[in-house]
């Protein structure tokens, strides 16, 4: 449902303790609390694509930020991104965490990137959930064991397990893109959900060889189209690293 107009709660900030640490200079806008990780940029890219006015607050992924009482008051799961919309449903302020929920909310609010019919909307959402339950956690675990803290573990099984699962998931995406430019037909929040995580394989983990990323030709074209979009290029820089 598209919502518009001024918030019925002029003092909405008093309801959200996070604003004590990250105060708003533009309280009439959507407030984005994020950092440019694959999860974080999903929200900034969507906001740019949809043209919704927003104010960004840089919340790093260090404990001093995401485990602070102020941030936990908005997201008890201590992960970015999170948002507050002063003008949520029925004109009331709403706070949201979990990137899949944020993407769905923003698309519904703007009435764009969420399908032209009810059936199309569910087709889009299934790929959003595919990313949330599959691509995101599996690529993230792969990255930990291949490139970050787990890379010094001598047991080869964790990195082998996640490498194989990432390859399997990449194949699912590649097959879906065999006869279409975007995952659910038209460009949508499904693509905004999935593409940054696939991009992170090379961008953050330098693992395009071990995952055989370049062998997935449909994905290569998909990422090229995705990254050519001005909103995507800008979204990757919000907030500044």
The rounded distance, in Å, linking the Cα atoms of 231 and 237 is 10
Do 34 and 93 belong to one domain? yes
CATH number at residue 170: 1.20.1050.10
Residues 215, 216, 217, 222: is their CA dihedral positive or negative?
negative
CATH number of the domain that 75 lies in?
3.40.30.10
Domain-embedded: residue 239? no
Within the chain, which residues score under 50 in pLDDT?
1-9
> Does 74 share its domain with 124?
no
- Structural domain containing residue 159: 118-229
> How many domains does the structure of the chain reveal?
2
In this prediction, residue 11 carries a pLDDT of 86
- 3 state SS of 6: coil
**Is residue 38 domain-resident?**
yes
Give CA–CA dist 41/188, Å, rounded.
Answer: 15
As a whole number of angstroms, the distance between CA 75 and CA 97 comes to 6
Q: What is the DSSP letter of 49?
A: H
Give me the phi and psi of 58, to 5 degrees please: -80, 110
pLDDT at residue 8, rounded to an integer: 40
The string of DSSP codes covering 130-185 is HIIIIIHHHHHHHHHHHHSGGGG-S-SHHHHHHHHHHHHHHHHHHHHGGG-SBTTB
Same domain, 202 and 130: yes
**Same domain (yes/no): 203, 156:** yes
Same domain for 125 and 222, yes or no, is: yes
Q: What is the pLDDT of residue 231?
A: 98
């Amino acid at each position: 449902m598209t919502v518009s107009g001024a918030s019925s709660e002029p003092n909405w900030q008093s309801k959200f303790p996070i604003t004590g640490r990250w105060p708003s200079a533009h309280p009439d806008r959507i407030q984005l609390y994020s950092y440019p990780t694959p999860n974080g940029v999903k929200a900034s890219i969507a906001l740019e694509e949809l043209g919704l006015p927003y104010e960004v607050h840089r919340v790093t992924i260090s404990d001093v930020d995401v485990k602070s009482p102020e941030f936990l008051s908005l997201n008890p799961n201590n992960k970015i991104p999170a948002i507050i919309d002063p003008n949520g449903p029925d004109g009331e302020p709403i706070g949201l965490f979990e990137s899949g929920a944020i993407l769905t909310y923003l698309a519904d609010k703007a009435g764009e990137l969420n399908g032209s019919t009810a059936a199309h909307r569910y087709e889009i959402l299934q790929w959003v959930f595919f990313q949330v339950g599959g691509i995101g956690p599996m690529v993230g675990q792969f990255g930990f064991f291949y490139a970050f803290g787990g890379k010094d573990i001598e047991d080869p099984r964790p990195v082998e397990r996640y490498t194989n699962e990432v390859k399997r998931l990449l194949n699912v995406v590649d097959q879906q893109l065999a006869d279409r430019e975007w995952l659910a037909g038209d460009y949508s929040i499904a693509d905004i959900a999935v593409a940054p995580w696939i991009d992170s394989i090379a961008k953050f983990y330098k693992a395009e060889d071990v995952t055989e990323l370049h062998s997935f030709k449909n994905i290569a074209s998909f990422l090229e189209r995705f990254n050519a979009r001005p909103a995507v290029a800008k979204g990757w820089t919000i907030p500044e690293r």
